[in-house]
Homo-oligomer: A and B are copies of this chain.
Amino acid sequence: MTSRSLEKCRIRFFACLLILLPAVSLAADNLTWRQVDPENLVFMEIGEGRVTLELNPLFAPRTVEQFRQLVRDRFYDGLSFYRVLDGFVAQGGDGSDLGELSLVPLIKAEFETELPADVRFKTVQRGDLFAAETGFIDGFAAASDAAGKIYWLTHCPGTVAMARGDGADSSRTDFYIVIGQAPRYLDRNMNVFGRVIEGMDLVQRIQRGRTDENGIIQDETRSSRIRKMTLASDIPKDERLSAFVVDTNSGGFERLLEDRRNRKQKFFHNKPPEVLDVCQVPMAGRVTK
């Protein structure tokens, strides 16, 4: 925290401590960072600015492969977020207007998976409302069944997944970004394949549709658009931005979770229950030159 903002805190002391709480945790000592593989790093330029995504081929190899190909083919460039419900999802990337949809294959469902032996699941909460256990796998919020055998990526704010019809294998190009309270009831039912690691403030500016029109934006000239999507690995190394996310396997992250689970600050006159909502742990990354 800069001295200038500290000074402001003194002037505005009524509010400062509340806001310090989560930020202090984010800036915890010994927090280590993992560099995102450029093959899994996507820059999505929208009218509102640059949004950075990390793809997850461990959980959704087929979806990630198809998404990468669509990005490389410039399929998404110019397409709109045509259906956006505040508090739910921003959905875009529909190419049916282009008349080339039939060339794009359907994706076979990959809703959940078993984990390779070398992949670590960092437990956050046992007895979560929607799963036997929640936690993080390499920065991605995830959950498991009671047997600890099946794992899936959970729907949290910033989660990126493929939309589909009723058929499990019916997703193709349309994707959505979660922009509201985690719709966990969708867990184990969608091809979740990535998350926003920077720029959620910009995603929150995406033009909404009306609730009574299911979020569909009738006047397409009003909708927010994807200007350009680029895979970092397709950018020459010396021009490429790098992205870093918190290493959820590190000791520093363990302490961050513990600080949030067991809040000891005198601010809390009623001590909160020692539980954690996996979707409420701030997991923003940073993008640098």
Interface residues of A, Cβ cutoff 8 Å to B: 1-2, 4-5, 8-9, 11-20, 22-23, 26-27, 82-83, 85-89, 91, 94, 96-97, 109, 111-112, 125, 127-131, 156-157, 163-166, 168, 170-174, 176, 179-190, 200-201, 204-205, 208, 211-216, 218, 260, 263, 265-270, 272-273, 275, 277, 279-280, 282, 284
Contacts and interface: CB of A to CB of B under 8 A. Distances in A.
Copies of this protein, total:
2
B185 A27 contact: no
A164 B14 contact: yes
Contact of A213 (B5, B17, B109, B279): B5
A190 B14 CA distance: 12
Dominant secondary structure of chain A at its interface with chain B:
loop
Nearest to A27: B212
Given A181-B157, A204-B86, A280-B182, A15 B94 contact: yes
Contact of A182 (B82, B181, B204, B215): B181
A286 B186 CA distance: 27
A279 B157 CA distance: 13
Contact of A12 (B27, B86, B174): B174
Nearest to A172: B14
B128 A157 contact: no
Contacts of A127: 129
Given A14-B171, A181-B182, A211-B282, 4 more contacts: A20-B214, A26-B212, A86-B204, A130-B272
Contacts of A180: 157, 280
A89 B157 CA distance: 14
A160 to B, nearest CB: 14
Contacts of A12: 82-83, 94, 96, 174
Contacts of A2: 213, 218
Nearest to A200: B86
A277 B184 contact: yes
